[in-house]
Amino acid sequence: MPSSSVADLSSILTCSIAVLGAMYPQDTHLMELGSIVGVPEVAEPQKPTAPIKFMGTRLRCMELEEKLAALIAKLTSVTYPFKDDVFDAMSSLRQHDQMLCELEEYISADLPAKEEFLYGNCANMRATIRETMQYLQVQLQTTFDAKGQADYLMRPLRRKVHHARKLLTVLRKKVFLHNDSTDVGVQLHTIEALLLDAEETDLQFDCHAFHYGRDLLIEEKDRIIAEWKLVRRDIRQVRRATKEGPASSSSPSSSSSLLEFRAASPCQY
> Whole domain around residue 20: which residue ranges?
3-37
Segment 71-113, tens digit of pLDDT: 999 999 999 999 999 999 999 999 999 999 998 888 887 666 6
Q: Alpha helix locations (H) across 76-121?
A: 83-108, 111-113
156 with 235, same domain: the answer is yes
Q: Are residues 168 and 236 in the same domain?
A: yes
The per-residue DSSP string of 181-200 comes to -TTHHHHHHHHHHHHHHHHH
13 and 114 belong to one structural domain: no
pLDDT one-digit tens code per residue, 104-144: 888 887 666 677 788 888 899 999 999 999 999 999 999 99
Is pTM beyond 0.95? Reply is no
Distance CA 251, CA 222 (A): 39
121: buried, middle or exposed (CB in 10 Å: 19+, 13-18, 0-12)? Answer: buried
203 domain residue, yes or no = yes
5 Cα distance to chain centroid: 87
Q: Are residues 171 and 254 in the same domain?
A: yes
| Any domain includes 154 | yes
Averaging pLDDT over each range in 25-39, 223-237, 248-262, which range is the top one? 223-237
- Burial (CB < 10 A; 0-12, 13-18, 19+), residue 257, is buried
Domain count, the chain: 3
Which residues contact residue 71 at a Cβ distance below 8 angstroms, ignoring those fewer than 6 apart? 92, 93, 96
Query: Are residues 69 and 100 both part of a single domain?
Result: yes
- More confident: 119 or 147: 147
> Could you give the CA distance from residue 238 to residue 234 in angstroms, rounded to a whole number?
6
pLDDT class of 253 with cuts at 50, 70, 90: very low
At 259 the pLDDT is 31
Is residue 46, in this structure, part of any structural domain at all? no
Claim to verify: residue 18 and residue 66 sit in the same structural domain: no
